[in-house]
């Protein structure tokens, strides 16, 4: 079967068409959520499209975990078509469906060139967590067969790959090297030519090593709660946002979008009718990449994983959280942004709060620092625009060598 350029027509929609169609889906999903408090439903009723999501609060994993403890297993969220229930660390329980491409991973596998005639050696775990099923459903969506290999027993994996003739690998970036090295040690030649990876960092040197061995390796960004969020295509210029989600990049600790191109927390709204999650914070940092992918897919791109958004840091024995820094900024309209810097002063912790503002009174800000951060610290007023746009609101410069 010839491999068509795109998984479906959604990938090449115009920006206006995508905005209109996602807005309609979003309104439908919001209207279906009846478990939420009345004030949330009132705010949701005023949301007309993705740009209005800022009216709604951000949902964090800690919120979901608390809801699930109060109302197991899914926290009162109305789910449907549940075929599996998975458990992630926390614990947090996720529903899983078996309808076509329920996790939306087929789009990624298609972009990686996997389709009918391929056999995918799926080395993601099938035990409790959904990663194995996420990639299996994607393989099924593109018509590929699957060897449900899971992790471990590497020698048996090599034998199976040889005997079956697996053509593609799915799993963490580093485990493929373990399989290839074991195959070389055993004197076995494998037919693997493509790899789709996730769940860890794909370092450029490792990708190049796979390329040198004749394996094209692409990565996706997915979570157990949301399924596929973004993925690479053969162009390998950023990660293309999946068509079934709306992605926002927010200042950590707030519900407010960053300026275009700035680093912030990835917050995702899933349009899955079976399990709609609205403004779900991933805890990951990224930034929007300007322009459109050379591969012809037209959706927004992000730069990939750029660190964790939970910058909570213990200073002088007290936790300082991004939400507290956001509260400090909100307390003074003239403050553009703030950054907490933790250092060592001799054998003691020291905290400096850098404040972007056009003037202002240091003593007033210092009092607000104590009020919001519950700690005393030095205050520096710096020119607006001078702090790095790297997504950090708490920077830990301490070393313990």
What pLDDT, on the 0 to 100 scale, is given for residue 316? 87
Q: Which of 266, 239, 270 is nearest to 102 (CA)?
A: 270
Residue 3 confidence (pLDDT): 62
pLDDT at 201: 81
Q: Which two tokens stand for residue 64?
A: 């979901």
Round to whole Å and give the CA distance between 300 and 172: 25
For residues 338 and 351, what is the distance between their CA atoms, to the nearest angstrom? 13
Distance CA 179, CA 107 (A): 26
| pLDDT tens digits along 328-371 | 999 999 999 999 999 988 878 899 999 999 989 999 999 999 99
List the chain residues with pLDDT less than 70.
Answer: 1-3, 400-401
**pLDDT for residue 371:** 94
Tokens 């279906």 sit on residue: 32
Global pTM?
0.86
What's the pLDDT score for residue 1? 37
User: What is the rounded distance in angstroms from the CA atom of residue 203 to the CA atom of residue 173?
Assistant: 8
Task: Examine residue 73 and say whether the peptide bond preceding it is cis (omega within 30 degrees of 0).
Answer: yes
The pLDDT assigned to 115 comes to 97
- Provide the pLDDT for residue 330: 92
pLDDT at 400: 61
The region, left, alpha or beta by phi > 0 then psi within -120 to 50, assigned to residue 323 is: alpha
| Predicted local confidence at residue 401, as pLDDT | 58
Give the helix ranges, DSSP H, for 112-169. 131-141, 154-164
pLDDT score at 328:
95
The pLDDT, as a whole number, for residue 199 is 87
Is the Cβ–Cβ distance between 373 and 320 less than 8 Å?
yes
């Amino acid at each position: 079967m010839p491999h068509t350029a795109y998984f479906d027509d959604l990938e090449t929609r115009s920006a206006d068409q995508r905005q209109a169609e996602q807005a309609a889906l979003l309104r439908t999903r919001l209207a279906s959520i009846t478990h939420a408090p009345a004030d949330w439903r009132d705010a949701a009723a005023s949301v007309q499209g993705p740009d209005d999501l800022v009216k709604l609060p951000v949902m964090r994993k800690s919120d979901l975990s608390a809801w699930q403890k109060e109302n197991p297993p899914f926290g009162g969220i109305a789910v449907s078509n549940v075929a599996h229930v998975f458990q992630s660390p926390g614990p947090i329980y996720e529903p899983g469906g078996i309808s076509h491409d329920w996790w939306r991973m087929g789009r990624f596998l298609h972009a990686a060139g996997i389709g009918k005639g391929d056999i995918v050696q799926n080395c993601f775990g099938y035990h409790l967590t959904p990663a194995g099923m996420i990639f299996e459903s994607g393989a099924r969506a593109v018509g590929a067969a699957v060897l449900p290999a899971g992790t471990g027993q590497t020698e048996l994996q090599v034998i199976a790959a040889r005997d079956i003739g697996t053509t593609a690998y799915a799993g963490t970036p580093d485990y493929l090297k373990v399989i290839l090295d074991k195959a070389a040690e055993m004197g076995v030649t494998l037919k693997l030519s493509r790899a789709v990876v996730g769940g860890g960092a794909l370092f450029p040197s490792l990708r190049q090593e796979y390329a040198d061995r004749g394996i094209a390796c692409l990565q996706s960004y997915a979570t157990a709660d949301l399924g596929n969020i973004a993925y690479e295509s053969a162009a390998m210029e950023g990660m293309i946002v999946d068509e079934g989600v709306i992605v926002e990049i927010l200042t950590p600790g707030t519900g407010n979008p960053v300026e275009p191109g700035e680093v912030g927390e990835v917050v995702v709204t899933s349009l899955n009718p079976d399990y709609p999650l609205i403004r779900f914070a991933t805890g990951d940092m990224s930034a929007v990449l300007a322009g459109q992918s050379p591969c012809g897919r037209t959706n927004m791109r992000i730069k990939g994983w750029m660190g964790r958004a939970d910058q909570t840091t213990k200073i002088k024995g007290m936790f300082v959280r991004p939400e507290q820094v956001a509260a400090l900024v909100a307390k003074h309209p003239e403050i553009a942004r703030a950054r907490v810097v933790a250092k060592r002063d001799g054998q003691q912790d020291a905290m400096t709060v850098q404040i972007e503002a056009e003037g202002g009174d240091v003593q007033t800000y210092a009092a607000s620092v104590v009020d919001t951060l519950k700690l005393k610290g030095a205050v520096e007023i710096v020119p607006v625009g001078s702090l790095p746009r790297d997504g950090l609101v708490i920077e830990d410069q301490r070393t313990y060598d």
